[in-house]
Amino acid sequence: MNIDNIEAFVFIVHYGSYNKAADILFLSQPSVSARIQSLERELNCKLFDRIGKQIQITEEGKKFLPYAQQILMTYQKGKLHINQKKSLPEELRLGCTVSVSNYTIPDVLSRLKQRFPNTHFKLVTGTTDDIIGKVVNKEVDIGFVRNVSHPNLQSAKFYEDPIRLYVYEGHPFLHMDRVTIEQIAVQPLVFFECGALDWLRVHRMFGGLDHPPNIQFLTDNSETAKKLVIRKAGIGFLPSLSAQEETRSGKLVPIPMQETEAITLQTNIVSCHGKHAPFIEAIMSIGKELYGEKNDIELLYK
């Protein structure tokens, strides 16, 4: 069965005439008529009746129409899929911050590989500014960075990671119904500082105190901060995603605080305008699978 003949039949039904279907298909009216005649011979039935200058689909034509539409749709989807596969790059270059590399990318890449089995993935890490520069200069195709904007790039929120106060096993705060900022300030503190504006909000929590917080350790590496807390060197504010495994095992315990409920670290996906759409759509879909519709990490661990 010729797909062109089926296409002509569906278009005639949709537009209501041979002439309009011919115009849309860039064919002559006799060519469209010939296609319908050929299809009628294959089906051994009449598809249209002529009533004066008008045409009317026959009962046999009505029965065949949904099948014809399905055949045409399946053909178009298959054609689009093949052409899309041809246009996909053999290698996709991804750039991300160290925290994204540690806690997010392994889950994302394993799922992305399932969707694009013929694509190889190259990953580089750096600061948000580094990755932005690499995407702008086309050294990297897609970047995972903090919530920043750039006139030459398109940006979309991938997920939000709540910042919470974490203490170690056996800490006195675990036996308290409520913990105040004053009580936290006198504790030995491990401060993980990644330079994002959200961390300024953590600092501001201590702004109204008569004395500064007791910061004993200041680091730009979340793994270092986390291990210092586990070793009881102090307590600290950490992104929830970085502490998920230790929270499950009980080595770290989040302390609920109203002051930190709205403080999150947002990670965005950036790329050049109009580029790599299939991959970006897939990554956003994976984000919903991993982090939920709201992309809130904390929802997974309640």
Domain assignment of residue 80, given as a range: 3-87
Radius of gyration of the chain (CA): 30
- pLDDT, position 123: 95
Average pLDDT estimate for 22-26: 86
User: Comparing 12-26, 41-55, 71-85, 248-262, which segment has the lowest mean pLDDT?
Assistant: 71-85
- Identify whether residues 218 and 263 lie together within a single domain: yes
- pLDDT, position 203: 81
Asked which of 41, 71, 87 is the last residue of a domain, the reply is 87
Average pLDDT estimate for 37-66: 91
- Identify whether residues 51 and 130 lie together within a single domain: no
Query: In 3D, which of 222, 229, 231 has the Cα closest to residue 190?
Result: 229
The DSSP 8-state label assigned to residue 166 in this structure reads E
**Which residue type sits at 185?**
A
- Identify whether residues 251 and 283 lie together within a single domain: yes
- pLDDT, position 244: 92
Query: In 3D, which of 129, 122, 120 has the Cα closest to residue 97?
Result: 129
- pLDDT, position 302: 33
- The CA distance from 10 to 91, in Å, is 40
The DSSP 8-state label assigned to residue 175 in this structure reads G
pLDDT for 200 beyond 80? no
- Identify whether residues 255 and 163 lie together within a single domain: yes
Asked which of 30, 61, 87 is the last residue of a domain, the reply is 87
- The CA distance from 158 to 47, in Å, is 51
- The CA distance from 74 to 68, in Å, is 10
Q: What is the pLDDT of residues 75-103, one digit of tens each?
A: 877 766 665 555 566 889 999 998 899 99
- Identify whether residues 188 and 247 lie together within a single domain: yes
pLDDT for 122 beyond 90? yes
Q: What is the pLDDT of residues 131-169, one digit of tens each?
A: 999 999 999 999 999 887 788 888 999 998 899 999 999
In angstroms, the Cα distances linking 170 to 173, 213, 230, 238, 252 are: 8, 22, 11, 18, 10
The answer to whether the CB of 222 falls within 8 A of the CB of 240 is: no
- Identify whether residues 122 and 252 lie together within a single domain: yes
Asked which of 50, 65, 87 is the last residue of a domain, the reply is 87
- Identify whether residues 112 and 229 lie together within a single domain: yes
**Burial (0-12, 13-18, 19+ Cβ within 10 Å), 97:** buried
- What is the average pLDDT score of the chain? 87
- Identify whether residues 59 and 143 lie together within a single domain: no
- pLDDT, position 109: 94
User: Where residue 111 sits, what CATH number does that domain have?
Assistant: 3.40.190.290
The whole model's pTM is what? Answer: 0.64
- pLDDT, position 18: 92
The answer to whether the CB of 167 falls within 8 A of the CB of 174 is: yes
The total number of residues shown for the chain amounts to 302
What are the tokens at 5?
């003949």
Percentage of residues in the chain with pLDDT exceeding 90?
52
pLDDT for 12 beyond 60? yes
Provide the number of structural domains found in the chain. 2
What are the tokens at 175?
């036996």
- The CA distance from 191 to 179, in Å, is 18
- pLDDT, position 118: 87
- Identify whether residues 135 and 188 lie together within a single domain: yes
pLDDT for 294 beyond 80? no
Average pLDDT estimate for 214-233: 92
User: Where residue 60 sits, what CATH number does that domain have?
Assistant: 1.10.10.10
- pLDDT, position 278: 87
- Identify whether residues 69 and 94 lie together within a single domain: no
- Identify whether residues 109 and 7 lie together within a single domain: no
pLDDT for 263 beyond 90? no
- Identify whether residues 130 and 265 lie together within a single domain: yes
Beta bridge partners of residue 49, listed in sequence order: 56
